[in-house]
A and B are shown apart, each in its own frame.
Chain A
């Protein structure tokens, strides 16, 4: 599909030149074809891979979602039944609320912290390289390891956080048992892992801001704080938009941390689904209840959700440091 030979060729004198070189006939036709097709051929691996791993699964998921499709069982075409059922399914909306809640709870502090961290790392401090590498360290640890360690910390009976609280005579908290406590626990896992990543991206962008802007501002008597808000943040706008995009997609497909936090892989996200995310809901429907069609429909709704979320965030962040 990406190898359309008869798409408009670049306005080059190719045919005429090669005609002159090679003379008329078949080889002229081949040279012409060659010249037009080769660029497409050279870029085709990406598009082929994208078609195989991007477009095809998307289309196939849509096809599956229109069926009552049991894992290793029967399949019957049911049209949009799965979608209508899903829209009235309280468990699905519970998962949506959880996902959005944990997204807001983790992403907002995470990006704010990353921005401050990047600003600090951009200063002239001793051992800059050490600190810069340091903030990236959490990222290179496996997400499963992070989740396992944090889950141990938040353990009800033998967890370190409850032990610490017990020093102040606070009753042990069953972190998994309530929405607020489980969301806090999961958000800290996400923040611990991703804050440094975002900070490094923002730092890289900060370093491209011309120094003379700051010098001029300093001469005009602008404080460091004012310089940060009036120069750094507006100049970082495209990068902030990028980090918000990435965080939105990551946050809305949140999966590993809550799964590990649950302890048993039923994908239920707690006893009443306190922290079941949409991604967990999909896996539960497909691989625990063996209802492939329903899971596929939920996957499509998640896709739409991410599109909406990204658009909202885009319209929000494009106002950052807008022209005055």
Chain B
């Protein structure tokens, strides 16, 4: 083939040229980008785009209106808001960690669920110090515990609070009516001062719905478990799976065992629809009314209304939760160090976690504001939620967060939470016998923490 050397040489030159071209074009496509960005941040007049990434089902963070308002008023700082997924622990968080590690791909402002704040606090190298941009001045706006959770291992302020998870019980008025139970929210709340009363109502409900395909009283074990845990943890030093020195206390913390036992008793009584939360069958069951009650932290209202859709508007309502106040969830916003425009990002973050942003997010997704000025704003305290039969959610959640003490969550909280909840699902669905469930629960937690 290479008898003609001239031909061979030509081919070789051609290949070399092609390769060289490929290499240089790869290089050149990357090099102008940072240069352009650098120019953008130094010249303030040039428009800058700030990306915001969040997570969550249904209405998620409820930033549509807030972003629209900001963009209209700030032509030079345009915000691009994107809700990446409805799953935090197993989709959003791994992706975020990879992007932080890779040094690119994370948004200018990222949302972090309370459950992963321990993990983020332990990685201060990835985050911008918000005090550099004057956000230290917001301290008075937040309850002390919410504020302190935004301080990382280097003692720098890296995140500000968005919502907070005061607790209620969501219920279907139409299903309650059919079962012969009261439907008015004050009366419904009085039905269940504690969890054992709740259990009795559940049995009554199911006696009225004995059929195989009739609605069940509860969705599944996970929601119930987290609601109870959020009430029990404050009674036991405000810790869940980890103590404040990050040691696993899953087996010894009475809060965990109490919550587990209660959930087990509800499952044994057959009161659950055996669903795993935040899965497609769970969403379908919300839409079809396959269960009557569900523990609802404030943000869950947005999830429910989003999953149930407009055709179920007014069928749901909100009542007091058995067992008193608790906090499940609530998120934070932070600016990763890789952001090209930290100053503008901090400005937007300040707006979204400020009174105006909080109020709009509450109106849109029922995410109850963690900042005190927003909580006191009449737009929040007097708000009624039309999807939930015009329930005065502002008043209900305002009352439920009054004495709220957030629980300490360790660095590996999210991993342990995911693993032990699998055991609860297995127990509820019958793949794990009830008498083995606690052992398996502890095993799963220990393994995930190790």
Residues of A within 8 A of B (CB): 14, 18, 21, 31, 34-35, 37-39, 41-42, 71-73, 91, 155-158, 171-172, 174, 176-178, 263-268, 270-272, 274, 287-290
**Partner among B5, B94, B212, B419 whose Cβ is within 8 Å of the Cβ of A34:** B5
Indicate the member of A31, A34, A263, A264 with the most B CB atoms within 10 Å. A264
Bound state CA distance, A35 and B12, in angstroms?
A: 10
Given contacts A42-B12, A174-B429, 7 further A-B contacts (CB under 8 A): A21-B5, A31-B5, A31-B9, A157-B281, A288-B418, A289-B448, A290-B97
Residues of chain B within 8 A (CB-CB) of A41 are 12, 15-16
Q: Beyond A157-B281, A158-B284, is A288–B94 a contact (Cβ under 8 Å)? A: yes
Q: Which of B420-442 contact A (CB under 8 A)?
A: 422-423, 425-426, 429-432, 440
Q: Beyond A271-B429, A290-B94, is A38–B8 a contact (Cβ under 8 Å)? A: yes
B1-41 interface bits toward A, Cβ cutoff 8 Å, 1 = contact, 0 = none: 01001001101100110000000000000000000000000
Q: Does A177 lie within 8 Å of B432, measured CB to CB? A: no
A-B contact pairs, 22 of them (CB 8 A): A31-B5, A35-B8, A38-B2, A72-B126, A73-B122, A157-B281, A158-B284, A171-B212, A172-B212, A174-B274, A264-B90, A264-B278, A266-B89, A266-B90, A266-B418, A267-B90, A270-B426, A270-B431, A271-B422, A274-B431, A288-B415, A290-B415
Bound state CA distance, A264 and B282, in angstroms?
A: 11
Bound state CA distance, A264 and B277, in angstroms?
A: 9
Bound state CA distance, A57 and B91, in angstroms?
A: 24
Q: Beyond A34-B8, A91-B447, A271-B431, is A39–B2 a contact (Cβ under 8 Å)? A: yes
Bound state CA distance, A153 and B440, in angstroms?
A: 31
Min CB distance B153 to A, Å, is 12
Min CB distance B215 to A, Å, is 11
Indicate the member of A31, A72, A155, A156 with the most B CB atoms within 10 Å. A72
**Partner among B126, B279, B285, B429 whose Cβ is within 8 Å of the Cβ of A263:** B279
Q: Does B279 lie within 8 Å of A271, measured CB to CB? A: no
Q: Does B418 lie within 8 Å of A18, measured CB to CB? A: no
Bound state CA distance, A177 and B425, in angstroms?
A: 10
B300 contacts partner chain A, Cβ-Cβ < 8 Å: no
CB-CB nearest in chain B for A18: B5
- Chain B contact surface mostly: helix
Q: Does B426 lie within 8 Å of A157, measured CB to CB? A: no
Residues of chain A within 8 A (CB-CB) of B290 are 157
Bound state CA distance, A157 and B287, in angstroms?
A: 13
B270-288 interface bits toward A, Cβ cutoff 8 Å, 1 = contact, 0 = none: 0000101011110011001
Residues of B within 8 A of A (CB): 2, 5, 8-9, 11-12, 15-16, 87, 89-91, 94, 97-98, 100-101, 122-123, 126, 212, 274, 276, 278-281, 284-285, 288, 290, 415, 418-419, 422-423, 425-426, 429-432, 440, 447-448
Residues of chain A within 8 A (CB-CB) of B123 are 72-73
Q: Beyond A34-B12, A266-B418, is A272–B426 a contact (Cβ under 8 Å)? A: yes
CB-CB nearest in chain A for B430: A177
Residues of chain A within 8 A (CB-CB) of B9 are 31, 34, 38
CB-CB nearest in chain A for B125: A72
**Partner among B89, B97, B426 whose Cβ is within 8 Å of the Cβ of A271:** B426
Bound state CA distance, A38 and B12, in angstroms?
A: 6
**Partner among A18, A42, A156, A271 whose Cβ is within 8 Å of the Cβ of B432:** A271
Q: Does B94 lie within 8 Å of A287, measured CB to CB? A: yes
Q: Does B422 lie within 8 Å of A268, measured CB to CB? A: yes
Q: Does A264 lie within 8 Å of B279, measured CB to CB? A: yes
Bound state CA distance, A272 and B132, in angstroms?
A: 48
Residues of chain A within 8 A (CB-CB) of B100 are 72
Min CB distance B144 to A, Å, is 29
Residues of chain A within 8 A (CB-CB) of B425 are 271
Bound state CA distance, A211 and B16, in angstroms?
A: 49
Bound state CA distance, A73 and B290, in angstroms?
A: 43
Bound state CA distance, A281 and B265, in angstroms?
A: 32
- Counting from the closest, the 5 A-B pairs by CB-CB distance are A271-B426, A287-B94, A72-B101, A72-B97, A263-B279
Bound state CA distance, A39 and B419, in angstroms?
A: 55
Bound state CA distance, A121 and B272, in angstroms?
A: 51
Indicate the member of A31, A41, A156, A289 with the most B CB atoms within 10 Å. A289
Q: Beyond A41-B15, A72-B98, A271-B429, is A157–B423 a contact (Cβ under 8 Å)? A: no
Q: Does A71 lie within 8 Å of B426, measured CB to CB? A: no
Q: Does A35 lie within 8 Å of B2, measured CB to CB? A: yes
Q: Beyond A288-B415, A289-B448, is A265–B87 a contact (Cβ under 8 Å)? A: yes
Q: Does B12 lie within 8 Å of A264, measured CB to CB? A: no
Residues of chain A within 8 A (CB-CB) of B440 are 272
Residues of chain A within 8 A (CB-CB) of B15 are 41-42
Residues of chain A within 8 A (CB-CB) of B431 are 177-178, 270-272, 274
CB-CB nearest in chain A for B284: A158
Q: Does A177 lie within 8 Å of B429, measured CB to CB? A: yes
Min CB distance B51 to A, Å, is 20
Bound state CA distance, A288 and B16, in angstroms?
A: 44
Residues of chain B within 8 A (CB-CB) of A174 are 274, 429-430
Q: Does A263 lie within 8 Å of B280, measured CB to CB? A: yes
Residues of chain B within 8 A (CB-CB) of A34 are 5, 8-9, 12
Residues of chain A within 8 A (CB-CB) of B91 are 265
Residues of chain A within 8 A (CB-CB) of B288 are 158
Bound state CA distance, A150 and B11, in angstroms?
A: 52
Q: Beyond A72-B98, A264-B279, A288-B415, is A38–B11 a contact (Cβ under 8 Å)? A: yes
Residues of chain A within 8 A (CB-CB) of B423 are 271
Q: Does A263 lie within 8 Å of B276, measured CB to CB? A: yes
Q: Does B429 lie within 8 Å of A155, measured CB to CB? A: no
Bound state CA distance, A288 and B447, in angstroms?
A: 13
Residues of chain A within 8 A (CB-CB) of B126 are 72
Bound state CA distance, A144 and B212, in angstroms?
A: 32
Bound state CA distance, A126 and B69, in angstroms?
A: 66
CB-CB nearest in chain A for B425: A271
Bound state CA distance, A288 and B444, in angstroms?
A: 14
Residues of chain B within 8 A (CB-CB) of A72 are 97-98, 100-101, 123, 126
Bound state CA distance, A72 and B9, in angstroms?
A: 48
Bound state CA distance, A177 and B427, in angstroms?
A: 11
CB-CB nearest in chain A for B290: A157
Q: Does B98 lie within 8 Å of A71, measured CB to CB? A: yes
CB-CB nearest in chain A for B94: A287
Indicate the member of B15, B100, B288, B429 with the most A CB atoms within 10 Å. B429
Bound state CA distance, A158 and B126, in angstroms?
A: 45
Min CB distance A167 to B, Å, is 14
